[in-house]
Each structure stands twice: as structure tokens, then as C-alpha cells.
């Protein structure tokens, strides 16, 4: 599988990242273990998760995805074959949240225990924490890097201004700096990334690993005009049920036919070549979905294909 550097200072990673949010949620633990076997054998060796996955599911408390990954690492012995990304900062209950130094120090140990690993390749701030000074937060991450518990650090859900401020803070203080950004970005959600974040990631050469790359399944073509959303992500996907959203899907379907491909592969192939993007994140709930992720890493769209998708998905002026 093709690889790229994750930003100027990051590791080399595959151009598609496997999302681990579904492990133990919409994909059972046994099926998750089997999926990991197939994914890594296929070259999908960049895997993203978070400590909070999947706390939102009934009966879950968070940490389920990390625990499944830890079980797989233990059984397979392939920890060193994977670039593992996880995140910290979201609400874990009992006041466990945020990016204060003392909490980061505790949360990383909990993640390492669940992952059955003595290091994390990419440790990400899951969301900004304006109540904690950047010097404190980045100082805590820097200690983890110096201790060898974390190789690189990244940010998620930051504004452009805050990302730039964090990087400048690291540089002024000689601290580890963010090598990556995980934003919400896809064919039906372009405005915020392209207007606010892209200039910053270009300036600082930060790698971008977008989440919701398939818009919670909308860009797979499974939802068409007049059809009701019934999946576990129905609440998220319904906001794309509008004329522009359906027009994007129609175009994806048409281009997919011309390549004997699928809309999901085309959507990921488009995102993969956008300025600043290193590797879109997408999860798989079936073997077919996993095949789409692997194939999307190799699919080459024509200039005409890209222009059509750019035009139909262009952000509408307010």
C-alpha cells in the first residue's frame, strides 16, 4: 500500500487509516479481531482509536476499542507492525476529561494498560481544552515523548488559530509539537477545513488525517433520495439529506461506474489527494467495507473526475 509522511516531522503511514471507533460497538469483539488480521495483512497498518470509544453505547464505559486492540496485539504479536494512534481528553465519567497535565499523565497509563503496549505512536488531544494553559498541556505531552511512552503528538477538533498558537508555543518553549491534525472533512463537509485549517496545516506542514471521511456512511451511496436512515449513525447522517448532498452521491455513483468501483472508494480517493491530507480515516463494519478501504488507497481518479467532484461539492456561500 502507498505511504506518506504524516506531516513534516511525523512517521511514514499508509494513505488510508483504519478507524477503530467501531471495535466492540457496531463490530463485535471477535469480528474486530478478525478484521484486524485482514486489515494488517492487506497493508492497513495505520489504526486510529481513542480512550472514549465507545462510551456512548449502552453498557459501555469507554476503553472498549483500546482493549480489543490490546487483545489483538497480545494474540498476534504484531504491535510493531502497526502505527497506532489514540486520543485523550473527552469525557470519561467521574470528572475524567480535559488536558490538564495530571490528567494526561493518568490517562496515558490507562490507555497503555488497555492497549497492552509500552508506547503509543501518535497520541492526540481529542478536543481543545481552553481551561488548561497550552504550556502545561504541551509540557505534559513532551514528558511522555521524552519518556518513550509516546512517539508523536497530534491534535483533533482544533481551530486554525488554536493549532497555530499551540505549535508556536511548542517552538518557543522547546516542547514536542503537533505533527498531525484530525479534523472533520469530507465531500459534504468542506468549508471549515478548507477556509480555516488548510492555511495553517500548509504553513506548519502538519499532516491531516480527516475523520468522518465517508460522512457517517452517507458517501457510500447507501442513502438515496426518499430513503430513511436506520443505521446506528442515523442522527449524524440525516443532516446531509439535502439536494447538494444527493447530487454529490449521484456523482460518486456515476464516477464509480466508470472505474468499476464503488462510491466509497471514489470518495476516499478524492479525499486522499486533497491539499494537506495524509490519510483519511474510515472504519469498516463488513468485509466489503474493508475491501473498499484497501482499494481506495490505489484508485487513481482523473482530472475530470476530481473537477466534477469539486464542483458538485463546492461549499455554498452563506
Structure confidence by residue, pLDDT tens digits, 173-206: 999 999 999 999 999 999 999 999 999 999 999 9
From 81, 84, 78, select the one nearest 65 (Cα to Cα). 84
Q: How many residues does the chain have?
A: 318
Structural domain of 191 = 3-215+267-300
| 225 falls within a domain | no
Q: Which of the residues are catalytic?
A: 53
For the chain, percent of residues with pLDDT exceeding 70: 96
Give CA–CA dist 49/26, Å, rounded: 14
Confidence of residue 50 (pLDDT cuts 50, 70, 90): very high
| 279 falls within a domain | yes
Structure confidence by residue, pLDDT tens digits, 81-105: 999 999 999 999 999 999 999 999 9
Confidence of residue 233 (pLDDT cuts 50, 70, 90): low
Q: What total number of domains does the chain contain? A: 1
pLDDT over 80 at 229, yes or no: no
- Better-predicted residue by pLDDT, 115 or 227: 115
**Average pLDDT over every residue of 129-135:** 97
| 250 falls within a domain | no
**Average pLDDT over every residue of 137-144:** 98
Helices (H) and strands (E) in the chain, counts: 12, 10
Confidence of residue 317 (pLDDT cuts 50, 70, 90): low
CATH number of the domain at 151, please.
3.20.20.100
From 192, 185, 177, 187, select the one nearest 208 (Cα to Cα). 185
| 198 falls within a domain | yes
| 181 falls within a domain | yes
The pLDDT of residue 232:
58
| 242 falls within a domain | no
From 180, 168, 160, select the one nearest 277 (Cα to Cα). 180
| 75 falls within a domain | yes
| 99 falls within a domain | yes
Amino acid at each position: 500500500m502507498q505511504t506518506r509522511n504524516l506531516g513534516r516531522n511525523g512517521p511514514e503511514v499508509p494513505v488510508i487509516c483504519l478507524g477503530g471507533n467501531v471495535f466492540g460497538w457496531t463490530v463485535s469483539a471477535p469480528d474486530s479481531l478478525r478484521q484486524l488480521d485482514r486489515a494488517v495483512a492487506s497493508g492497513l497498518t495505520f489504526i486510529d482509536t481513542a480512550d472514549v470509544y465507545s462510551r456512548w453505547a449502552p453498557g459501555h464505559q469507554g476503553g472498549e476499542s483500546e482493549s480489543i486492540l490490546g487483545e489483538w496485539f497480545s494474540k498476534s504479536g504484531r504491535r510493531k507492525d502497526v502505527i497506532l494512534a489514540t486520543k485523550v481528553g473527552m469525557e470519561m465519567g467521574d470528572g475524567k476529561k480535559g488536558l490538564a497535565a495530571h490528567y494526561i499523565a493518568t490517562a496515558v497509563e490507562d490507555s497503555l494498560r488497555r492497549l497492552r503496549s509500552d508506547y503509543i505512536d501518535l497520541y492526540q488531544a481529542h478536543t481543545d481544552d481552553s481551561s488548561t494553559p497550552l504550556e502545561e498541556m504541551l509540557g505534559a505531552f513532551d514528558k511522555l515523548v521524552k519518556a518513550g511512552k509516546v512517539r508523536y503528538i497530534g491534535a483533533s477538533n482544533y481551530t486554525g488559530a488554536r493549532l497555530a498558537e499551540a505549535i508556536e508555543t511548542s517552538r518557543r518553549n522547546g516542547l514536542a509539537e503537533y505533527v498531525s491534525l484530525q479534523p472533520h472533512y469530507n465531500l459534504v463537509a468542506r468549508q471549515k477545513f478548507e477556509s480555516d485549517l488548510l492555511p495553517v496545516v500548509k504553513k506548519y506542514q502538519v499532516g491531516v488525517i480527516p475523520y468522518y471521511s465517508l460522512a457517517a456512511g452517507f458517501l457510500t451511496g447507501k442513502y438515496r433520495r426518499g430513503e430513511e436512515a436506520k443505521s446506528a449513525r442515523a442522527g449524524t447522517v440525516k443532516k446531509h439529506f439535502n439536494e447538494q448532498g444527493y447530487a454529490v452521491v449521484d456523482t460518486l455513483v456515476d464516477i464509480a461506474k466508470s472505474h468499476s468501483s464503488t462510491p466509497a472508494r471514489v470518495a476516499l480517493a478524492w479525499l486522499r489527494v486533497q491539499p494537506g491530507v495524509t490519510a483519511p480515516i474510515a472504519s469498516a463494519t463488513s468485509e466489503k467495507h474493508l475491501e473498499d478501504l484497501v482499494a481506495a488507497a490505489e484508485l487513481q481518479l482523473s482530472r475530470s473526475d476530481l473537477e466534477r467532484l469539486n464542483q458538485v461539492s463546492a461549499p455554498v456561500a452563506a
